[in-house]
Structure 1
Amino acid sequence: MSPRFTWHFGVFSYDPATGNLVGPAGTQRLHEKPALVLETLVEAGGDVVSRKTLQGRLWPDETHVDFANNLNAAVKRLRDALGDRAAEPTYIETLPRKGYRFLVTAERRVVAPSQPVAPKPPETKNVPTASAPFPAQPAWWQALAVSLLVLTFTWVLVAFQAERTARLPTGKIMLAVLPLQNTTGDPGQGVFVDGLTEELINHLGRLQPARLGVISRTSAMTYRDSETSVAEIARALQVDFVLEGALRRGRAGGRINLQLIQIEDQTQLWSEHYDFDDSDWLAVQDRIAVKVAKTMALELLEGAMPAVARAELSDTRAYRAYLRGRHAWFSFNREAYLRAEAHFQEALSVAPEAAVVHAGLADTYNLLAFTDHLPQAEAFAKAKKAALQALRFDPDSAEAHNALAFVLLYHDRDFTEAERHFRTALDLNPGYAMAHHWYAGLLSARERHDEALSAMKQALTLDPVSLSVASDLGWYYLFADRDEAAVEAFKATLALNPDYGWAMHGLAVAYRRLGLAKQAVFTLRNDLHLNGMSPTETAYLDGSDPDAAWRAWLEQRATQFGTPEAPASGVRPLDAVMTLAQLGRLDEAFAWLEGTPDNTWLIFLRVDPRFDGLRPDPRFVSWCERIGIDP
């Protein structure tokens, strides 16, 4: 029997029998492929190990694996475990077009027989751990416990009355404010009920964010005029309570009926109605929202008082215009952004110092930067100006800090200032789903993957049916080299909407990185069909060799780009860069990269797997430095 041994190098030791790497951060178990890369490199004793040698070691029997991308991913995982950087390597040096070399001396030490080494455990996926049963308790203890429970329950009945005995969940409470129904028969009242819904979400979201989470407007409005039951909506949004209501016609004006439902047992905890005069259309929203917030604080938060938002829009015309602007903005498309811009400008013509409107305008220009309506630099300049105006009128506007951070991240690439404003936005409004979502982009680009994924999960908790949040979670898993988790996130997104192309394409990329070539090509074909391509146009994907089919797709795309000097109509240079990088045509890829220095997506140059082919090239480091990101 061969003696067991461990490798020792730098501040690390590695045990091939268990796959455990021990270093300053403790013990971590390497996955199979990164472990094989490490073992091959240390065994070479400082000699160059070719990519072909590594390919034979990692995939000795497989013929349908994307070796280039999967090897890059395995080396990156190993570097992450060692805290190493490709640009300034301590342990693993990349030699372009040759391979890799281990830079430190590795000492092999035999493990004494008295120090048995546990066998390497098999890798498992999401295996639940059985809980140990509770130890048996003596009968007298059980009787005492029952007596105490009875006494406690009796005291609750006396103190809070029968209707207040509904059991509140421990930990954080999640509440959804469903879109109020307009039952007046007047479609023009739709703006009013949407505005009141938003006011309720805003006021309730500011009560105690650490204790009460309120589902964002984006997810809540998905259920406007829906016939889905409250129980089904609650399951989809994963909430404990639902606030629902309707606007009805009253004798002198209108009546708002509201009720709070606990989902666990469908108990109506509270209901109330509010009458108002038609002439009081503007003030009624804030007044009702404040009253409801106070009631919810008593019902759910043991008497916490609401933080009432400042009333910035005292003019009815300005307020209506602002609500229409936000309503349009949440449609998330170019034409809607243009309508939103017009509505916000109308509101500012009446209320020029309203920070909330300037913040809405900043959000609008931020997203218009991703359309062809304005040159990107002009759109971001307008967004920055509007965000700064909002902060001048209200330095505590979470929306304005978030909008400014977006400009600083994607246009200025000032990561430090962008992070400062994102964090300020979240300090001001911890329940602001969009701030969590946009901040996660910065964290992912900076390779702070655990923080990025935590931020995305918080965003998804607050905005659980948002397709952009759900699909971006999948992409940020990809950027963190957690491909299996990415697959699950993309599948969850497609369960919400099977025609969401951003998730479909991400799923295809994830399958390919996992070496699941058939699934990757099948998903890619679906993605192309969603983008309007006919089966005839995607016939090159129908061959028996899925790896060849994927490459054929890339080659087909490459023929449509033209040249960097004379690009074909409608071609986005960054698409050419990604395609040519995957084909290994690096000279062409870097030539196209020259035309994209201001592209917003370049902040993900270090992490997006579609750029993997560029990273071993020495030009990659200089390009990262040139555009203001660390290599």
Structure 2
Amino acid sequence: MPGTSLKFEDIQLDLSSYQLRRNGSVIKLERIPMELLILLAGRNGQLVSREEIIEKLWGKDVFVDSEHGVNTAVRKVRNALQDDPENPRFIETVVGKGYRFVAPLATLPEEQAFLGTSNGYSSNFKKFVLLGACVLAALSLGAYLGVRYFWPAGTAGDGRSMLAVLPFENLTGDPDQEYFSDGMTEEMIATLGRAGNQSLGVIARTSSMRYKNSGKGVEEIGRELRVDYVLEGSVRLSGSRVRVTAQLIKVRDQSHLWAENYDLEIKDILGLQTDISKALTYFQDSVQRDPGFARGWASIALSYELLEYVHAMSPRESHPYALAAADRATQLDAFSAEGHLAMAYIHEHYEWNWEGADRELAQALRLDPNYELARQWLSYGLLRRGDTEGALLEMRRAFVLDPLSPRVNITLAQRLDRADRHQEAIRQMQQAIDLEPGNPVAHFELARLYVNQKEFETGAEEELRALELDNKPDLADQLKSSWKEHGAENAYKQLERQLVYVQLHDLQKRIGRGEYVSPADNAWTYARLRDPGNTLLWLKRAFDEHASLLLELRDPGFDFVRDTPQFQVLARQVAMPGLSAASH
């Protein structure tokens, strides 16, 4: 397909600006339908099978409702082109086979193609994003096939080979171009994660990006991340040309298994556009500018869900926004793992629809087996059902995908503790602290683990570190004094009780100021005081609000009220699988 713009009848498909126009006016078309149109037009007159469409637009080995996905994309293209499927002028259906683009095409010269294009869409940023999308497919295929060709049984516990995509180096000499090299890294991780299926594990972005400008060698990085292979690359931009270099390295002997350079002109952009991951604060802005950005909608849904989960927003307030965004994401892209994960949260946390949550979560992991957050949520779901070993197994898989994330390390330590592997839990929490020494939460958790093992001196030391890091000098001094006078065990217990009363006082002040306070916060606080009346009162209010706390009813912290009639009524109403059983 020569040139940068195609014309059929009064419609212009501008590949450089990724726009569809009729008589100079832009026709809105979402990403997947636009890619389908480019694919069909690029094969003008040829049959393109449904299987090829799925592979080109979503990738191989994706288990989704392909009939719905392809049909929806075709329908949206036809609506945009005002094409009649019964008497097609542009897209012809070959029943049982696929589709064919049948309109005569004319190629416009480059300077004419840019007439009428808005400055925003013709910016260097948009061009570079599009260009990156073109080379991603080739890079991903080369890296994936390189690993598949050379791999032995992998180092992961389930036999998979593990791959880390290191941050692509920006060789442009312009720090302002970091967004492009970072975007290439993030999209490569996402693309390979989807392509790897059950045979290849890809380290998550959180861990990989820690090595940006680290100066560490492949052997050291491979050892720290426990991977078999490393993909490293660089990006160099010069005027309208870009060179992307990538090489696949085997960690064990640092041999180069595969390497490739890609030199392209901006005007050669013909194919796919991929969404670059944006910071959470930009998701709202991104979907306003591009309502067809499915990942942006999914991230908005996940953000509202997170706000509810950390008790910053009530379920009644967050649920409508989360549901609308998640529904929009899955409508735009039925193959969005993020969209299905967001929908799983809604089914589980808001609706207590356990079967629906399991179905959506399984779909998210089928679409992206290397989706660390989905693995962690699966672990959480198994834990709430009382399957501590299954929860631990899934959390270990999440850890393999993101071993340098303090959050993942802390959660794995908690899973180990729930599975009665207490010494392993202590070692894992220490590893989390090594990654982020200034995190008071990890020190508080480590103190709790030590105290539960009757190691009171060590536990009190960790508690003291946590208080100092949490900017609580008065309580730290009090702990020191009480420790000296009454011993570590009594000092720790007295301080923990005082911390609970401080928290309860803060909650009451917030309520007095008219702020939202989740009933979950009060329920947990009274549970720590072993106050059955107030604990059950606030559990009932949490139930009325559909707070996420109701998924925690198996937690050992509620054992002291588990046999009460009030608790049993709540358990029956929530109807969570396995809830009637004891917590341990």
* TM-score relative to the length of structure 1: 0.60
Partner deviation per Cα, 1:490-518 (whole Å, 9 max, x = no partner): 12222222223333232222223222222
- Rounded to whole Å, the distance in 1 between the matches of 2:319 and 2:214 is 36
The change in CA–CA distance for 1:436 and 1:412 in structure 2 (over 3 A counts) is same
- Rounded to whole Å, the distance in 1 between the matches of 2:185 and 2:398 is 20
- Rounded to whole Å, the distance in 1 between the matches of 2:217 and 2:559 is 46
Provide the secondary structure at the position in 1 that maps to 2:260.
strand
Letter in 1 for 2:542: T
One of 540, 549, 566 as aligned partner of 1:601: 549
- Rounded to whole Å, the distance in 1 between the matches of 2:237 and 2:332 is 37
The residue number in structure 1 matching 2:91 is none
Q: Does 1:614 align with 2:565?
A: no
Partner deviation per Cα, 1:580-628 (whole Å, 9 max, x = no partner): 3333332233344444333323312212x43343335443323333555
- Rounded to whole Å, the distance in 2 between the matches of 1:495 and 1:195 is 28
One of 182, 187, 203 as aligned partner of 2:170: 182
One of 445, 456, 470 as aligned partner of 2:395: 456
**Which has a greater percent of helix?**
2
One of 373, 381, 385 as aligned partner of 1:434: 373
Q: Is the 8 A contact 2:287 2:293 kept in 1?
A: no
The change in CA–CA distance for 1:568 and 1:523 in structure 2 (over 3 A counts) is farther
One of 301, 316, 321 as aligned partner of 1:377: 316
- Rounded to whole Å, the distance in 1 between the matches of 2:311 and 2:562 is 30
Task: Give structure 1 stretches of 5+ with no counterpart.
Answer: 1-162, 288-310, 330-338
The residue number in structure 2 matching 1:556 is 498
Letter in 1 for 2:487: D
The residue number in structure 2 matching 1:358 is 297
One of 399, 403, 408 as aligned partner of 2:342: 403
Q: Is the 8 A contact 1:361 1:386 kept in 2?
A: yes
Q: Does 1:414 align with 2:360?
A: no
Provide the secondary structure at the position in 2 that maps to 1:246.
strand
The residue number in structure 2 matching 1:581 is 527
Q: Is the 8 A contact 1:564 1:591 kept in 2?
A: no
Q: Does 1:214 align with 2:202?
A: yes
Pairwise CA distance, 1:388: 1.6
- Rounded to whole Å, the distance in 2 between the matches of 1:173 and 1:342 is 37
Letter in 2 for 1:342: Q
Partner deviation per Cα, 1:65-101 (whole Å, 9 max, x = no partner): xxxxxxxxxxxxxxxxxxxxxxxxxxxxxxxxxxxxx
Q: Is the 8 A contact 1:254 1:276 kept in 2?
A: yes
Letter in 1 for 2:279: A
Q: Is the 8 A contact 1:582 1:611 kept in 2?
A: no
How do 1:76-91 and structure 2 match up within 5 A? Answer: none
Bigger shift: residues 550-559 or 228-237 = 550-559
- Rounded to whole Å, the distance in 2 between the matches of 1:537 and 1:494 is 19
Identify the structure with bigger relative contact order (alpha carbons < 8 Å, sequence gap 6+).
Answer: 2
Q: Is the 8 A contact 1:581 1:611 kept in 2?
A: yes
Q: Is the 8 A contact 1:234 1:240 kept in 2?
A: yes
Q: Is the 8 A contact 1:242 1:261 kept in 2?
A: yes
Provide the secondary structure at the position in 2 that maps to 1:447.
coil
Pairwise CA distance, 1:247: 1.1
The change in CA–CA distance for 1:508 and 1:413 in structure 2 (over 3 A counts) is farther
Provide the secondary structure at the position in 2 that maps to 1:403.
helix
The residue number in structure 2 matching 1:482 is 421
Q: Is the 8 A contact 1:551 1:583 kept in 2?
A: no
Identity among equivalent pairs (%): 31
How do 1:111-122 and structure 2 match up within 5 A? Answer: none
- Rounded to whole Å, the distance in 1 between the matches of 2:431 and 2:343 is 31
Letter in 1 for 2:249: I
Q: Is the 8 A contact 1:405 1:417 kept in 2?
A: yes
Provide the secondary structure at the position in 2 that maps to 1:207.
helix
Provide the secondary structure at the position in 2 that maps to 1:327.
coil
- Rounded to whole Å, the distance in 1 between the matches of 2:161 and 2:558 is 41
Provide the secondary structure at the position in 2 that maps to 1:473.
helix
Pairwise CA distance, 1:372: 7.1
The residue number in structure 2 matching 1:248 is 236
The change in CA–CA distance for 1:266 and 1:551 in structure 2 (over 3 A counts) is same
Letter in 1 for 2:163: L
- Rounded to whole Å, the distance in 2 between the matches of 1:233 and 1:624 is 47
- Rounded to whole Å, the distance in 2 between the matches of 1:445 and 1:470 is 19
Q: Is the 8 A contact 2:284 2:296 kept in 1?
A: no
Partner deviation per Cα, 1:210-253 (whole Å, 9 max, x = no partner): 22211122221222232222222211111111111111134742
Q: Is the 8 A contact 2:464 2:479 kept in 1?
A: no
Q: Does 1:170 align with 2:121?
A: no
- Rounded to whole Å, the distance in 2 between the matches of 1:434 and 1:573 is 26
Partner deviation per Cα, 1:277-319 (whole Å, 9 max, x = no partner): 2456xx58xx7xxxxxxxxxxxxxxxxxxxxxxx4xx5xxxx6
- Rounded to whole Å, the distance in 2 between the matches of 1:532 and 1:612 is 32
Q: Is the 8 A contact 1:582 1:612 kept in 2?
A: no
Letter in 2 for 1:188: D
Provide the secondary structure at the position in 1 that maps to 2:569.
helix
Q: Is the 8 A contact 1:178 1:197 kept in 2?
A: yes
Q: Is the 8 A contact 2:467 2:475 kept in 1?
A: no
- Rounded to whole Å, the distance in 1 between the matches of 2:436 and 2:506 is 36
Pairwise CA distance, 1:360: 2.7
Provide the secondary structure at the position in 1 that maps to 2:233.
strand
- Rounded to whole Å, the distance in 2 between the matches of 1:614 and 1:523 is 30
Q: Does 1:270 align with 2:218?
A: no
Pairwise CA distance, 1:420: 1.2
Letter in 2 for 1:189: Q
- Rounded to whole Å, the distance in 2 between the matches of 1:377 and 1:233 is 45
One of 167, 190, 215 as aligned partner of 1:227: 215
The residue number in structure 2 matching 1:328 is 279
Pairwise CA distance, 1:189: 1.9
Provide the secondary structure at the position in 2 that maps to 1:402.
helix
Pairwise CA distance, 1:177: 0.8
Pairwise CA distance, 1:376: 3.8
Q: Is the 8 A contact 2:467 2:476 kept in 1?
A: no
Partner deviation per Cα, 1:408-450 (whole Å, 9 max, x = no partner): 2223232221111111111222122221111111111111111
Q: Is the 8 A contact 2:379 2:395 kept in 1?
A: yes
The residue number in structure 2 matching 1:524 is 463
Task: Give structure 2 stretches of 5+ with no counterpart.
Answer: 1-145, 155-159
Pairwise CA distance, 1:205: 2.4
Q: Is the 8 A contact 1:564 1:573 kept in 2?
A: no
Alignment length (residue pairs) = 419
- Rounded to whole Å, the distance in 2 between the matches of 1:271 and 1:501 is 44
Q: Is the 8 A contact 2:284 2:300 kept in 1?
A: no
The change in CA–CA distance for 1:261 and 1:548 in structure 2 (over 3 A counts) is same
Provide the secondary structure at the position in 2 that maps to 1:270.
strand
Provide the secondary structure at the position in 2 that maps to 1:369.
helix
How do 1:59-70 and structure 2 match up within 5 A? Answer: none
Letter in 2 for 1:369: E
How do 1:505-520 and structure 2 match up within 5 A? Answer: 505-520=444-459
Pairwise CA distance, 1:520: 2.4
Provide the secondary structure at the position in 1 that maps to 2:177.
helix
Bigger shift: residues 237-246 or 401-410 = 401-410
* TM-score relative to the length of structure 2: 0.65
- Rounded to whole Å, the distance in 2 between the matches of 1:200 and 1:342 is 24
- Rounded to whole Å, the distance in 2 between the matches of 1:481 and 1:618 is 29
Partner deviation per Cα, 1:109-164 (whole Å, 9 max, x = no partner): xxxxxxxxxxxxxxxxxxxxxxxxxxxxxxxxxxxxxxxxxxxxxxxxxxxxxx99
Letter in 1 for 2:567: F
